[in-house]
Amino acid sequence: MVVSTGWENVVVSSLARRKEWEGKSIEAISRETGQSPSDAALDLLLEEDGMVSIVYYHMSNKDVLQVVKWDRSLVISDSLGCETGKPHPRSYGTFPRLFSKYVREDKVLSLEQAIRKVTSFPAQRFSLGKRGLIVPGYHADLTIFNEKEIQDTATYQDPVHHPEGISHVIVNGMLTIKNKENLRQSGGNAIKAAATKCLCQRHMKQEAAHG
């Protein structure tokens, strides 16, 4: 990965001890310490007992656009929890960015296509049961937003910011955001994806077949 990105694009997002280095690249840290980037990275891992989170600046905008437009692609955040110094901005802004950039600004997706990519399509793909659609008998998971105002506000430099334009959120029938105010009510629960289980079983059968 580093060969293709360069050390200047490997940015430290979370540290337990050296908080002053959060948000800095390995290349910048190496200049401060007078070490080579690889030595600086290894010493940092040792000093932090391996507990180092990083962000790679690796994706090509052209590639991302192509994937977003593909009718079989899903949109997820693919991010760790937010209890870090400088998490990836996708922790706070993935879905608002889909609607603000790719629907409203770039116009590569319709509003309906974007909603499907984050609701019914992934629910069906991973066999999540009665989720992803607004129909009687389904779990009430709803996000009410203004399509003209929704906007991600998290950046790489300052990532801990909630998006704009979302007024209400309902999780499993429980109102958790009302008039943009967090009611501090947790209606969520862990979901076991049936499709993931099937994929794991298929992989195990393939491994067994190959001895």
Where does a domain end: 17, 40, 56?
56
Torsion of CA 9, 14, 16, 17, to 10 degrees: 40
Report the alpha-carbon distance of residue 145 to residue 163 in Å, rounded: 11
Structural domain harbouring 18: 2-56
Predicted TM-score (pTM) of this structure: 0.74
- Residue 99 is given by DSSP the state I
Are 43 and 80 in a shared domain?
no
Report the alpha-carbon distance of residue 134 to residue 140 in Å, rounded: 7
**Which two structure tokens, joined as six digits, stand for 179?**
């008039």
Q: How confident is the model at residue 211 (pLDDT cuts 50, 70, 90)?
A: very low
Are 38 and 74 in a shared domain?
no
Could you report the per-residue pLDDT of 15-38, keeping only the tens digit for each? 889 989 988 999 999 999 999 999
Could you report the per-residue pLDDT of 47-69, keeping only the tens digit for each? 999 988 888 877 788 888 999 99
Are 22 and 72 in a shared domain?
no
176 CB contacts (<8 Å, ≥6 apart)? 169, 170, 182, 183, 185, 186, 187
**Which two structure tokens, joined as six digits, stand for 189?**
């629960």
**Which two structure tokens, joined as six digits, stand for 97?**
């960015």
Identity (one letter) of the amino acid at 166?
I
